[in-house]
Chain A
Amino acid sequence: MEHIVIIGNGISGVTAARHIRKLSNKKITIVSSETDYFFSRTALMYVYMGHMKFEHTQPYEKWFWKKNKIDLKKGYVKSIESKNKLLHFSNGETLSYDKLIIATGSKPNKFGWPGQDLDGVMGMYHKQDLENLEKYAPNNKVCKRGVIVGGGLIGIELAEMLSSRDIPVTFLVRESSFWNGVLPEGESAMINRHIKNHHIDLRLGANLKEIKADENGKAKSVVIAETGEEIACDVVGLTAGVSPNIDFIKGSKIETGRGVKVNRYLETNITDIYAIGDCAEQYESIDQRRPIEAVWYTGRMMGETVARTICGNRIPYNPGHWFNSAKFFDIEYQTYGWVFSKPRENEAHFHWIHKDDTKCITVCYDTNTNKFLGINTFGIRMRHEVFNTWLNEERDVDFVMKNLSKANFDPEFFKHYETDIFNAFKNNLITT
């Protein structure tokens, strides 16, 4: 029986395993050094905030793995010997495979800041980071202040986490406005205000210079590069993005760039070795996507796809329309299609914001053809399926604005804003 080994029990690896099981009888082993069972990384914050226990983040009960004959092995893969199809573990064990899927995910970026490896300094990616945070920031008596470096999706989650335990937070964001490399100005500005409403000390345009240690080698303060200001703190969260977790592959024959290089079939340069999820890097980016897409959905879609290739139906990874979602404290965010932070050539944005400052949308369209290109929505839930259809049908922006209520996905009895939005849209057209 063919033995499929998957390194990494995150969403990519587990999705691949599930689909291979559905399609075949192959022997499957999932290896991970992080946890015994698959858990949802995206839910780590809820454990610290007390919304859930760690068990609740595990989507499958223990019997699931046995029933589906998916073997789980805990261990850290030190190296891959592709010639003999052998994995070497850090404890000296080995494991042979017929086909290998690398799904090792990401690790937090560290940019060589002085003090970045001190006690009390951590990323927020692995379960171990969570345990570390629990140790250094159990409450606001032990942790008088937390400083977060890097204004992205994980940074703002960490800010929410700490403030849920009434720990004062200073949030250092390099950009002039929160996540404005991705979000258009109006949205980014609204989120700035929302962050401040949650009593976070938000510092825009602020870079970290160094982290200072106390006599025990634990972080005691950070220094801001621009102003030289020193801020006393007990915990420093490094959330300036992630990069593929592939150091252990570097010595092997597998081609790597920032991530493990793969073609459209998710195959690496070595036969029978595939890479999926956060750690995979496309030779050429697909559509307007980045070559490395460190998001949950991509990992899942790659897992769905690679399983078919491995089970004999070789098909390319061919993702549909871009979509994503996040939550900024109390404000939910969804996006469908492409809305860039600034309209590109021949593009225009229409922006609407509600006066309560917690809801807004931005619609992007082509100024020549009027084609609808994408939407960002904050504080209003919208239907994935509807936008997917409209994007497939290449609807124009007037159609989308007129039919926006069909896409509404808010719970029943919620107030609707489509008329407001539509009127604003019409007025906007008249004035410009």
Chain B
Amino acid sequence: MATIQRNMSLTGDVSDHLNPLQKTGTIIGFGGLVILMYSLFGDIEDKALWLTIALIALAGGILLFSKGLYNDKLKGIKNHGVWFKSISSRGFWGWLAGITLTGFYVILYFYEGLLGANPDGNTGLIALFDPLSKFLSGNPASQWFVYGTLYTVAILAFGIKFIWKYKHNRYEQLRTISVMFFQTAFAFIIPELMARLNSDSFSLPYNDLKNMWPLNYYAFDGWRVDQFINAGNIGLAFLIFGILSVFVISPFLTYKYGKRWYCSWVCGCGGLAETAGDSFRQLSDKSMFAWKVERWVIHSVLAFSVVMTTAVISTYLGYDSEKYWLTKDIFLISVAVFLGLLFAVIWYFKKEELKKDARYGAIGYLVIVLALIGIHYFSGTQNNKVFIFESGDLRSFYGFLIGSIFSGVIGTGFYPLLGNRVWCRMGCPMAGILGLQQRLFSKFRITTNGGQCISCGNCSTYCEMGIDVRSYAQKGENIVRASCVGCGICSAVCPRGVLKLENGPQKGRINPTEVLLGNDVDLMDLVNKS
């Protein structure tokens, strides 16, 4: 029944069902793309003008399309035909979009020359963006500027589409406005403007304040730290803020609100996933197997990023020791002590909350990380070798595998194939840390409304993190999962009002039940308490 083809066109249903406004939107949007494509090959004279036209066409096209889609609809859930449309059900258009996006990321990361990055001055697409870049930062554009601009335009335009779609749901609207703001201001405009402050005697690294370690895996690279230190008080302030974010601010906010404060309200990756990626959320894999894979992969990436960062920092502390007040040895010992203590505390207080394989995993990772640090400690300062690798190699390998391939090519390129949060679910070390915090000591949970669940499956289907929400809801249990980014969509699509994201006391947060609310009071007490 899943393969109902309701018209004769090869590409499925889409073209047939677009109304005039949607068609106009599509044409205008593609017009914008054509201009960008043209700039790759042809030389455009009035760059500022054409860039403006292209960006407006892109955004305007998306907005017109959305207006056509939602404007005359009553408030409510808008999922009609999601599994019939070829773009959102891994059909022809889905695959085409996936391949195109993946191709774009491969070029962006590895063949930027094709986009017009040139040692002797920009050409092509990148040159088209020069006017905007010069206007903001005073410098010519780079491929990252092009990417950042398109990224921001996508979040803004698709964000408005999303707000339209959820016109009955203020939670969805507010968090979308929030990611739109953080992307535009913090990730895009402020860093560009700050670049204006740079001169020969003063220079700050490109700094997106909200992009913290370990998502920002180069946050504590030597050159960045040096630049911060050399930039005097401001630089130092940024550096301290970066460290505080990791160790104080983010655990505190996660304690109060769950990891959603970051993943669904602030983060740029999350922002793109929730807006441009919204049409693909139902494609995430909900199987138990996928959950197992997820736990292993994401925690491996986390362990990898801890090792890599430790290695990188200890290396420059090692050969530049007179420059820093911290020495390599002290640093390594403190990392080891910190991890050991952290582990001990969790083990002591929260052992019950970790599943069996999670406990084995945690011990395993701790042993590996400590062993590596130990080897490194004893390997002396004479060479840069960490364990057996050069720390620089480790760092580039991480950058290549995790930073580029995972977060970009797979994470975003595969939206139409694997869902919009593959990266957030499987790969992001930041999500890994916040997830542990959320699972172990947060006030956040998704409350299940007594016995009201009818096991329909809407919540699980639309959970972008592949959480089988229904498996908890139908047992009357609250959902307390490390991976939940608090997008709130499960709650929005539930036709029976069963789910509510909320922050509350720890007591009763995890509430396994056997007999559900609504049945015999004595029986429930008897069974659920014993």
Contact = CB atoms under 8 A, between A and B. Distances in A.
> Does A pair with B?
yes
Interface of A: 11, 19, 22, 40, 42-43, 46-47, 49-59, 61, 63, 130-131, 134, 138-139, 164-165, 197-198, 296-297, 300-301, 304-305, 308, 315-321, 323, 325-327, 329-330, 332, 334, 358, 381-385, 388, 392, 409-415
Contact of B80 (A49, A413, A414): A49
A74 B169 CA distance: 43
Given A358-B75, A409-B500, A412-B502, A320 B2 contact: no
B517 A384 contact: yes
Given A50-B79, A319-B520, A327 B495 contact: yes
A402 to B, nearest CB: 22
Contact of A323 (B451, B488, B502): B451
Given A59-B457, A332-B496, A411-B492, A318 B80 contact: no
B496 A315 contact: no
A134 B495 CA distance: 23
Contacts of A131: 1
Interface in B70-84: 74-77, 79-84
15 contacts: A11-B455, A40-B456, A43-B457, A51-B79, A51-B80, A58-B457, A61-B288, A318-B520, A326-B496, A327-B496, A384-B518, A385-B450, A409-B449, A410-B500, A413-B170
A131 B2 CA distance: 11
B497 interface: yes
A197 B72 CA distance: 11
Q: Which applies to chain B's interface (DSSP): helix, strand, loop or mixed?
A: loop
A383 B476 CA distance: 13
A57 B288 contact: no
A305 B519 contact: yes
A330 B169 CA distance: 12
B293 interface: no
List the 3 shortest-distance A-B pairs measured between CB atoms, nearest first.
A384-B450, A330-B76, A381-B497
Contact of B458 (A52, A308, A318): A52
A146 B330 CA distance: 77
Interface in B445-459: 447, 449-452, 454-458
In this complex, the member of A51, A334, A385 whose beta carbon has the largest number of chain B beta carbons within 10 angstroms is A51
A47 B458 CA distance: 10
A392 B520 CA distance: 12
A300 B516 contact: yes
A304 B450 contact: no
A57 B2 CA distance: 12
B: interface residue count bin: 35 or more
A50 B454 CA distance: 18
A41 B524 CA distance: 26
B506 interface: no
A263 B334 CA distance: 69
A319 B524 CA distance: 11
Nearest to A381: B497
B88 to A, nearest CB: 9
Given A43-B457, A383-B449, A384-B517, A59 B471 contact: yes
B474 interface: yes
Contacts of B74: 197-198, 329-330
A134 B1 contact: yes
B454 A296 contact: yes
Contacts of B288: 61, 63
Nearest to B287: A61
A412 to B, nearest CB: 5
Nearest to A295: B454
B232 to A, nearest CB: 41
Contacts of B197: none
A412 B501 contact: yes
Nearest to B495: A327
Nearest to B521: A320
Contacts of B497: 325, 332, 334, 381-382, 409
A414 B171 contact: yes
Nearest to A41: B454
Q: Identify the interface centre among A58, A164, A198, A384: most chain B CB within 10 Å of its CB.
A: A384
Interface in B166-223: 168-171, 174
A327 B501 CA distance: 21
Nearest to A157: B495
Given A381-B497, A384-B450, A318 B518 contact: no
Given A139-B6, A297-B451, A301-B519, 13 more contacts: A47-B1, A49-B79, A49-B80, A50-B80, A51-B80, A52-B457, A52-B458, A305-B523, A321-B518, A323-B452, A330-B74, A330-B75, A384-B449
A110 B456 CA distance: 27
A51 B82 contact: yes
Contact of A411 (B81, B451, B461, B501): B501
Given A323-B450, A383-B450, A411 B456 contact: no
A315 B519 CA distance: 12
Contacts of B82: 50-51
Contacts of A412: 171, 500-502
B4 interface: yes
B521 A52 contact: no
B370 interface: no
Given A42-B456, A197-B74, A413-B170, A319 B496 contact: no
Nearest to B520: A318
A80 to B, nearest CB: 28
B22 interface: no
Contacts of A47: 1
Given A54-B1, A320-B518, A388-B450, A415 B170 contact: yes
B455 A42 contact: yes
